[in-house]
A and B are shown apart, each in its own frame.
Chain A
Amino acid sequence: MNISSDIQVWIAAALTLMIFSFLYKDNPFYKFAEHLFVGVSAAYWMVQGFWATLMPNLFGKIYPPMVEFAFPGFAGNDPEPLHIIPLIFGLLLLTRLIPPIATVSRLAMGLVIGFAAGTNLTRYLASDFVGQIDHTMVSLIDMSSGSFSLGGTINNLVLVSGVIAGLIYFFFSAEHKGVVGKVSRYGIWVLMVSFGAAFGYTVMARVSLLTGRMAFLLFDWLGLRGGA
């Protein structure tokens, strides 16, 4: 056993234990760690926003010499006055903080929403909607490797029947009776299996994170043998 003498490790270990203490019940140590996390996160994002966005993407474009001390790569760049437009829109967003002129912020917000919606719509349509439909149109008899593949055929049958049954389950224009009812029932099974897989993966993720924290406490902090 070789306990760490690094103050950072001790702080991290103490905060980890404070968060774990919630498993017993809510307590002031947990609250302290939780609030500290929120505060530090907010500060981190603020600093990142300034140095990774405002400095290189705004000030560095409008007046490059202003950021040369931090971004030597901007030295010699020509100013791009058009970037004053995003500066104005950025300032408009802040008018939300001044109630009498808060409405003006909608101009900037509208631009943000319009751009995001327009960009996302085309890509979602191409990659998720059309792309996914395209990839569901597979041959039910898998001969892709040049000969008959039983595994591939079963895969394709499950894929195609699962998609069709899942869609029929959400098709409410026809009563779920007879053939439609049976296919819909199969659709429920498909959905349940997928929910089960998702839940299993979630459990796996949480245990992985617990393992990571435990490895930190046991090896990095307490210095016990081993090491993951």
Chain B
Amino acid sequence: MSNMLEKVGTLDRRFIYIFIALAVIIPLLAQLEFPVKPSPIVDAIFDHIDAMPPGSKLILTADYGPSTVPENQPMFEAVARHALHKGLKLYVLTIWATGPPMIEDMKEAVIDVDFPNMVEGTDWINLGYKAGNQGVINSAFSNFRQAFPTDINGANIDDVPMMDGIERLADFDMIVAIGSGFPGVKEWIQFGGDPSDVPMAGGVTAVEAPLLYPYYPSQLLGLMGGLQGAAEYEAALVAAYPQFEPTSTQAIKNMGPQTVAHIVIIIFIILGNISYLAGDRKSKLGGGQA
């Protein structure tokens, strides 16, 4: 028994990769799903957007790239779906060069499917990518039109109906920043939400989430952390508006494999520690030979 435990400690890491791969593949194929209950930190975002009167102006950012699509895209799409369903004016933009294709994917998955009658420039607008990191947010804070003079198609925003009455960031009713690094949610808090006093929420990758919790609830009214955060928002959306169940359960579906993989990892951590302790005990009994 002791020898077997020691062997676990020296197991080739490639066997662990195989176990993790199986832990993801099997639940995916079996379509394993677990119930997801929105936590207060995610519910706060949903409730705030749900309570906004139709016509309110919401900025939604896509500050991420293809490498974090599994985590960020579901939350981006769920918020866009919710906002458009509530009749909010949606202003989509990005300060990441890799953001425009993410916005295009959202358009195909959300607007073209669930809101085909929504008109670009009247109900929603894609302001595209602007280079300059936090400098863009800083510029938009004082003069939004200078920071975003055109939309994604190169059209002058002075000619866009839904830009009427917007001069600076404070003219918006809410900012929801979806991001995965720098510049991202933190920069939107520092240069956007805080100075303009516009209510702000965030959605980030799991890696970044612990760094942003300190901003909740004063500077961020809510935070979606990783796939779990996205799944919780989807759960809240589907519970309130069941018509979105066929299109807005991407993250909930991916939480099945996630949960199983976590269990496998926990088992390996426990086995690794038992193996270490067994080896340690044996070396002590053997006169300190390692």
Identify the A interface with B (CB < 8 A).
23-24, 44-45, 48-49, 52-53, 56-57, 70-75, 115, 119-120, 123-124, 126-128, 131-132, 134-135, 194, 197-198, 201-205, 207-215, 218-219, 224-228
Contact = CB atoms under 8 A, between A and B. Distances in A.
Given A71-B150, A120-B134, A208-B226, 6 more contacts: A73-B151, A123-B191, A127-B194, A210-B24, A211-B261, A214-B25
A126 B195 contact: yes
Contacts of A52: 97, 128-131
Interface in B93-118: 97-98
A204 B31 CA distance: 19
Main secondary structure of the interface of B (DSSP, over half): helix
Q: How large is the interface on B (under 10, 10 to 19, 20 to 34, 35 or more residues)?
A: 35 or more
B14 interface: yes
B159 A73 contact: yes
B279 interface: no
Contacts of A74: 149-150, 154, 156
B14 A44 contact: no
Contact of B20 (A126, A132, A202, A210): A210
A224 B214 contact: no
B150 A224 contact: no
28 contacts: A23-B14, A44-B97, A49-B97, A71-B154, A73-B149, A73-B157, A73-B158, A73-B159, A119-B134, A126-B190, A198-B210, A201-B206, A201-B209, A201-B210, A201-B226, A204-B228, A205-B68, A207-B20, A207-B258, A208-B227, A208-B258, A211-B258, A214-B21, A214-B25, A215-B28, A215-B70, A226-B28, A228-B253
Given A127-B194, A214-B24, A226-B29, A201 B207 contact: yes
Contacts of A75: 156
B196 to A, nearest CB: 12
Given A44-B97, A49-B131, A74-B156, A209 B210 contact: no
A205 B207 contact: yes
The 6 closest A-B pairs by CB, nearest first: A212-B70, A73-B156, A71-B154, A205-B206, A48-B97, A208-B227
B97 A45 contact: yes
Contacts of B158: 73
Contacts of B132: 53
A210 B154 contact: no
